Amino acid sequence: MSAGVWPLVVVSHRGPGGDGGVAAGLDPLLRRTRGCWVASDGARRPYPVVRVPLSAAELDGYYRGYANEGLWPLCHGLVERALFRTGDWEVYRAVNERFARAAAQVAAPGGAVWVHDYQLALVPAMLRALRPDVRIGFFWHIPWPAEPIWRLCPQADAIVAGIAAADLVGLHTPDYAAAFRALVPPVVQVRALPMGVDFAGIAALAGQAATERRMRRLALALGLPGQRLILGVDRCDYTKGIPHRLAAVEAFFRRWPEYRGRVSVVQVASPTRVGMPAYDRLRRLVRRQVAALNRELGDGDWRPVHLIGRRLRLPQLVALYRLADVALVTPLYDGMNLVAKEFVAARVDGDGVLVLSRTAGAAVQLREALAVNPLDPDGIAATLHQALAMAPAERQRRMAALRAEVERHDVQAWLAANLAAIGVQLPAARRGRARAASLTR
């Protein structure tokens, strides 16, 4: 197959501007290197985006079906939700082949190709066959489950073989890396490389006067002045544990009624995977649950829960992160969870408490968060009380430790480690203030 001109090619299902954590990490990379992005969609950017347009039938079989009804729930341990259809698998394989061919056409001779996530697990082996000259990195963004769960995937061996053709396989935590390593020969390079956030950029944005103005406007619009704030931010996905979290909020206000009228919860839950029945049902469930909670616990002046059912731009999110007394991050399972790290990066005031599931990949690094079990609403309620009652000195000590960790393992460190392993050296990053201006999502 003939080669292209790009020394670095990034391959992922969603392109720039897409929702979720993968696109958020790759956009800054492409802005500063001579690279090209291969994806099924994507907004216009100053760098080239090569699209692999997918038909409705392809999206059904490969994306909604095999990837999101099969691999996604299985890898999050939600076996009852997972289903693998042979027809979907065939479409998955065919679409992976299309991505592999597109990448093969644009990568320069001896170039590097970095492939992302569970939608594209077969691409490394397919690309290797087409272009033996390129170096291939692969990153798996979701949990890698324990072997007995993984074996429930009928195509388990084919998926592992597809990934293992890469020169480097990255996963977020030592546990996921160990679980994957156990399935492949020792020559395959498998590493735990926890993804980070743009700490300097988010901190610079959080420190701007405009952020303080946004904070005042948001607080007024939500009726928050004089209230303490508990904040949740998620794609509205069943792995994020939003219904369980709302049950915990209810338990909290019932067990400690003195917080009624003094504390409000803001839950930002942006629509995702719209049209898939499990997701459409979840959005309705969350809306009903919030309405019931507000009806039963609220009074004329005070609303316990504000639900924001849409995507916010980063400056708005950062203003909310800064307004919050507590960030409540309680996914059932999560590969990493970047929201927890963005909250920490935004707290340039050194204050705020992070409550975090033990089962988020981020919990391995964020040791000074208050750890909770997402399936234990009474335990979460008690932890919320602990967070709100915590002395300022302890809040600040914990936040300082969290900030040091999130700064050290930021997104640039993650990019540099992944790319160095496939022979790509990154130019030095620009510093905070300039980056704040370029955080446009």
Residue numbers of the site for ligand ADQ (CB under 6 A)?
19-22, 24, 141-142, 195, 233-235, 268, 270, 311-312, 317, 334-339, 342
Least distance from ligand ADQ to the Cβ atom of residue 308, Å? 7
**Burial, 89: exposed, middle or buried (Cβ in 10 Å; 0-12, 13-18, 19+)?**
buried
* Length, in residues, of the chain: 441
Least distance from ligand ADQ to the Cβ atom of residue 116, Å? 9
Name the residue nearer to ligand ADQ (CB basis): 134 or 340: 340
Crossing angle of the two packed helices 156-164 and 123-130, in degrees rounded to 10: 50
> Dihedrals φ, ψ of 24, to 5°?
-60, -35
Q: Which residue has the tokens 């039938």?
A: 57
Enumerate the β-bridge partners of residue 330.
none
Asked if 103 and 73 count as a contact pair (C-beta separation under 8 A), the reply is no
Residue ranges of the alpha helices (H) in 259-410? 277-297, 314-323, 338-346, 377-389, 392-408
Least distance from ligand ADQ to the Cβ atom of residue 377, Å? 21
Name the residue nearer to ligand ADQ (CB basis): 98 or 141: 141
Least distance from ligand ADQ to the Cβ atom of residue 392, Å? 27
Name the residue nearer to ligand ADQ (CB basis): 269 or 399: 269
Name the residue nearer to ligand ADQ (CB basis): 88 or 342: 342
> Dihedrals φ, ψ of 233, to 5°?
-135, 120
Among residues 231, 255, 220, 293, which one has the least CA distance to residue 377?
Answer: 255
Among residues 341, 336, 290, 286, which one has the least CA distance to residue 318?
Answer: 341
In 117-255 the beta strands, taken as DSSP E runs, fall at 135-139, 168-171, 190-192, 228-235
Least distance from ligand ADQ to the Cβ atom of residue 197, Å? 7
Name the residue nearer to ligand ADQ (CB basis): 104 or 422: 422
> Dihedrals φ, ψ of 263, to 5°?
-130, 135
Token pair listed for 29: 């990379």
Residues 6+ apart with CB under 8 A from 158: 122
Residues 6+ apart with CB under 8 A from 231: 265, 266, 267, 268, 320, 321, 323, 324, 326, 327, 328, 343
Count CA atoms closer than 13 A to 313's CA, side-chain side.
8
Least distance from ligand ADQ to the Cβ atom of residue 268, Å? 4
Name the residue nearer to ligand ADQ (CB basis): 107 or 332: 332
The residue number with the shortest CB distance to ligand ADQ is 21
Least distance from ligand ADQ to the Cβ atom of residue 99, Å? 18
Least distance from ligand ADQ to the Cβ atom of residue 335, Å? 3
Q: Which residue has the tokens 């990154």?
A: 426
Name the residue nearer to ligand ADQ (CB basis): 111 or 145: 145
Name the residue nearer to ligand ADQ (CB basis): 330 or 337: 337
Please state, in angstroms and rounded to a whole number, the distance separating the CA atoms of residues 304 and 136: 49
Least distance from ligand ADQ to the Cβ atom of residue 309, Å? 9
Name the residue nearer to ligand ADQ (CB basis): 122 or 233: 233
Centre a 10 Å sphere on the Cβ of residue 11 and count the other Cβ atoms it contains.
30
Name the residue nearer to ligand ADQ (CB basis): 111 or 289: 289
Least distance from ligand ADQ to the Cβ atom of residue 234, Å? 5
Max CA pair span of the chain? 70
